[in-house]
Amino acid sequence: AVVSTQSTGTSERICPIFQISNVTGQNMHLLQSFLNLLSVQNNYHEGDSAEFQIDDTYSVPGVGTVISGTCMRGLIKSNDTLLMGPDSLGVFKPIVIKSIHRKRLPVKEVKAGQSSSFALKKIKRGEIRKGMVLVSLNSEPEAIWEFESEIRVLHHPTTISVKYQAMVHTGSIRQTASIIHMSVQHMRTGDKAICRFRFIKNPEYLKVGSRMVFREGRTKAVGNIVKVFADAQAPFRSNKRDKLKPKYSRGRRRCKSYNDRTNEDASAVIDGTDSGLSAILSTDSNKADSNTDTGSNIAVTPTEL
């Protein structure tokens, strides 16, 4: 029964159901046999140039930065120098692989189709993000901002049009993208069209023929990437914070104006241009002089003491 089920498992429209128990383990062996009989869906090529897809990053004490993922093509060995990217500017940087682990054991190399972890030299974890790739030095990777995809909307409550934004999933890439062009004016549930997307934050490494999922809330759409635009420039970002942020806060402006006014008054008194303050100061000086004179004319007799 398991073998017959596996023969029909290649169809995308049929999904077998196994009644198993995680408590007693009933029929668990049937599920394991079915998974072992499944054929590999992806075609891995060991003779091509190396390509490693990063799924996650770690910082291990005593080891440094560690990445995990799947080797998509070629052969990768310890101490190999590969290009990692793209970063936020679309640049691929050379890095050195310090060691390789596979299934918690150290190994010397990994082949296409195998999952593994790499310890990297002289790089911080903050410089790496999910969706980056490692490629060989002889390849010429390109950072992609825009791409075209043929998608079908599985569910959407209203209509999808240009400037609609949602999360794009393709491989290990997860980033918000915006629709900048559509082959139709609007799309609803069940519609199919060719749409041109632009990533919002960072460029990505994409290949033609990759599958993608387009989702936002309850909205679901699937499709395939049919074209990439390597010559597309990064989107312009206006720094709105600098426009909205005042140069001085209200308290600082008050202090500044008070200090300026005090300095002006002091300079006016020194120059003798402020008549009001000069009159006040002259009146105070006259009172002081009169008090001094009066005090000097008072005579004290011994009988009064």
Dump the DSSP string for 11-24: -TT--------TTT
Mean pLDDT of 88-95: 94
Per-residue pLDDT at 184 = 95
Q: Using CA atoms, how far apart are residues 179 and 148, in angstroms rounded to an integer?
A: 10
Does the reported pTM lie above 0.95?
A: no
pLDDT (tens digit per residue) in 137-174: 998 999 999 999 999 999 999 999 999 999 999 999 99
Which tokens belong to 3? 């073998």
Q: How confident is the model at residue 107 (pLDDT cuts 50, 70, 90)?
A: very high
Residues shown for the chain: 305
What average pLDDT does the structure give for the chain?
81
Q: Using CA atoms, how far apart are residues 276 and 282, in angstroms rounded to an integer?
A: 10
CB atoms closer than 10 angstroms to residue 204 = 25
pLDDT (tens digit per residue) in 4-62: 666 655 566 777 888 999 999 999 998 888 888 877 666 776 778 999 999 999 999 99
- Integer CA distances (angstroms), 64 to 119, 123, 219, 238, in order: 7, 8, 40, 36
Residue owning tokens 């029909």 = 8
Per-residue pLDDT at 298 = 46
Q: How far is CA 41 from the centre of its chain?
A: 30
